[in-house]
Amino acid sequence: MIISAFISLASIIVSIILAVFPASDGFPDEFNGALASLGGYVGMLDPLVPVSTVSTILTLVLLYEFTVFSFKGIVWAYSKIPLMGR
Amino acid sequence: MKIIVKQISGRTFVGVAVLFIGFMMAPAIVSAGYVQIFPSEVYYTSGEVLWDVTAGDMEGMTYSNNVAHRAFCASREFDSCAGSPSTNGVTAPEDIFSVGFVNTTDTASGDYYYTFSPYNPGADFSDCSSKDCYYFTYEWDNDNKTASNGVVIPEYGFNAITETRFTDITITGTSTVLIDVEYFLSENEINTSIAEFNPTVVNFNIALRPETEFSGQGESIDPSVFGTSTVQTSFAGLDDGTYDLMVEFGNAGQLFGMPQPFKYSYIYTDFTIASGTLSAVGNTEFYDYTSRIDGTTERPCGLTDIGGCIINAFVYMFVPSSQSIANFTDTYDTLSGKFPFAYLTDFRDSIGGIYTDGTVHSLELTVPFGTFGDITLLSAELLESVPYSDLIRTIVGAVLWFMFGAQMWRRTQTIFNHNPQ
């Protein structure tokens, strides 16, 4: 019940916030193609450098920084709401 | 309110940020493959790798376009695998497939993964943009023809139901114990393409208490006869005592490493032999896929089952409901499709997929060297020939994880220190 309430509340709040954001079309095909090509070269190093680990760590770092950035943005936006933010 | 905002910018920032990070990262971690939720089993036979994908509400599945492999589809309706040129559709169970599998024929060592998406008429089966997908990863050693590190990673829990199950059991007799079992075979769940996956026998395994080692006998059944049927076996000359009895489906293919068909459907009961004759039959418990105990299963609660009451109380308080998890997943799906958050998830998927291309080992850096031809400066084969390359790779991986942990710790400290209360 406690965890359910927390999860549901978090989902509701995030959903409300996300309602104002437009839908994304994703990366251009050229970018995805470039990444695919990059994978071919990076894969050569795999016998000595675990490429999957590198990509995993890079993903985690990106998620961390993006989350911090998003949170700061939300706090900043909240502070600009008249009568509520200050 | 001003105070609240001030507090948010203080120490509370870190706490809330951690929660927010957790919310953001949890599904990402799951889908990125860091959490092993449901294991799979792998079997190698006749040049093919058979994966026993024993769970999933996957009414159909497909795989990533950039992996040149083939995958069986898993739904009777999903016979249009021709939509993906490299797939090979077969008839398979419709909803949950306890004998579901992925068949791959690999030609090169490396890490591979498949992506399954639920059946959705009219949809692009190779499109995983809905994020309602299941990731299936494994590492293939082509030299030794072995696969390892296989795991099926669903993005969220299963709601699986199988119809094929045991429905009744009757134990009668005197000196000879007769056991009649009624079972139901669902037409939608029997794989008629590969006989080794069908239930062709019902095994009656017994163990005289206090022994726990079961032994017994099997009675053949016809897997092509769908619906309700019965099968009988008999035990004679049993010693006095109480016998535990386990009835389950089986197949001769199991002896050769094939998965047990419908292994979550079985009967457990016991009977007692006294003075050489059947004297008592104990309680009978029927199990199938829906009766598997998980974190949300309600335990018996009563004066003699106080522990069950306590467990139920904790489950009620701390185990999230499936609806809340579904809402959470839906929110994450929404987040993944919104600007600018979608760029993050897209980039994550992209960099996560760069190494799953089957051509990663084929590239090499060469330079022309006059009449001597091209000289290879760097290639996967060259690096593989480096002494202790596996050890070096392991050490490099450990160092990378350590550096990542240290950097995260330092970064978190920075956030905390820059937001004093």
Q: What per-residue string of b and e applies to B259-296 under the rule 16 or more CB within 10 Å gives b?
A: bbbbbbbbbbbbbebeeeebeebeebebbbbeeeeeee
Which residue of chain B comes nearest to A79, CA vs CA? Answer: B5
Q: Do A40 and B359 touch (CB under 8 A)?
A: yes
Q: Are strands B176-185 and B48-52 parallel, antiparallel or unpaired?
A: unpaired
CB pairs under 8 A between A and B: 214
What's the pLDDT score for residue B355?
Answer: 53
Q: Tell me whether A17 touches chain B (CB under 8 Å).
A: no
Helix (H) or strand (E) holding B17: helix B11-32
Query: Do residues B206 and B216 touch, judged by C-beta distance below 8 A?
Result: yes
Q: What percent of chain A has pLDDT over 70?
A: 95
Give pLDDT, residue B101.
Answer: 35
Helix (H, G, I), strand (E, B) or coil at B260: coil
The answer, yes or no, to whether the previous bond of B210 is cis (omega within 30 of 0) is yes
Is there a contact between A63 and B355 if contact means CB atoms under 8 Å apart? no
The verdict on a CB contact (< 8 Å) between A2 and B317 is yes
Looking at CA atoms only, how far is residue A79 from chain B in angstroms? 7
Q: Which of B264, B219, B218, B268 is nearest to B244 (CA)?
A: B268
- H/E stretch holding B202 reads strand B201-208
| CB contact at 8 A, B37 and B28 | no
Of B337, B350, B379, the CB nearest to A24: B337
**How much is the pLDDT for B185?**
86
CA torsion sign, A9 to A11 to A14 to A20?
A: negative
Pick from B25, B343, B408: which is nearest to A24 by CB? B343
Smallest CA–CA separation between A65 and chain B, in Å? Answer: 9
> Helix or strand or coil: residue B29?
helix
What residue has token string 């090499």? B364
Q: Which of B316, B350, B379, B419 to mutate to test binding with chain A, by most A CBs within 10 Å of its CB? A: B350
Contact residues, chain A, for B415 at CB < 8 Å: 68
pLDDT at A11: 84
Contact (CB<8Å) B331/A18: yes
CB B33 within 8 A of CB B22: no
**B68 reaches A (C-beta below 8 A):** no
Mean pLDDT by 10 residues, chain B (421 residues): 45 49 41 28 39 35 29 29 28 27 42 40 35 44 52 33 78 90 79 64 90 85 88 91 91 63 82 90 79 58 80 79 72 80 74 50 68 74 80 92 93 77 44
How far is residue B56 CA from its own chain's centroid? 7
Cα(B114)–Cα(B137) distance, integer angstroms = 6
Q: State the smallest CA–CA distance between residue A69 and chain B in angstroms.
A: 10
Interface of A with B in 43-62 (CB under 8 A): 43-62
Q: Which residues of B317-329 are buried (b: 16+ CB within 10 A; e: fewer)?
A: eebbbeebbbbbb
Asked if B411 is an interface residue toward chain A (Cβ–Cβ < 8 A), one would say yes
| Residues B79/B73, Cβ–Cβ less than 8 Å | yes
Amino acid at the residue B290 = T
* CB-nearest partner of B400 from A43, A47, A54: A54
Q: Which amino acid is at A10?
A: A
Q: Which residues are within 8 A (CB) of B96 and not within 5 positions of it... i.e. 6 or more apart?
A: B55, B56, B57, B58, B158, B160, B161, B162, B189, B289
DSSP label at residue B338: B
Residues of B in contact with A82 (CB under 8 A): none
Rounded to two decimals, the pTM is: 0.37
Contact B70/B87 with Cβ under 8 angstroms? yes
Cross-chain residue pair A7–B325, CB shorter than 8 Å: yes
d(CA A62, CA A55) in angstroms, rounded, equals: 10
Q: Return phi, psi of residue A17, to 5°.
A: -65, -40
Is residue B199 within 8 Å of B162, Cβ to Cβ? no
Which residues of chain B have a CB within 8 Å of the CB of A76?
none
Instruction: Determine the pLDDT at residue B271.
Output: 92
Give the distance from residue A73's alpha carbon to the nearest chain B alpha carbon, in angstroms: 12
CB contact under 8 A, B362 and A64: no
CA-CA-CA-CA dihedral for B351, B356, B358, B362, to nearest 10: 50
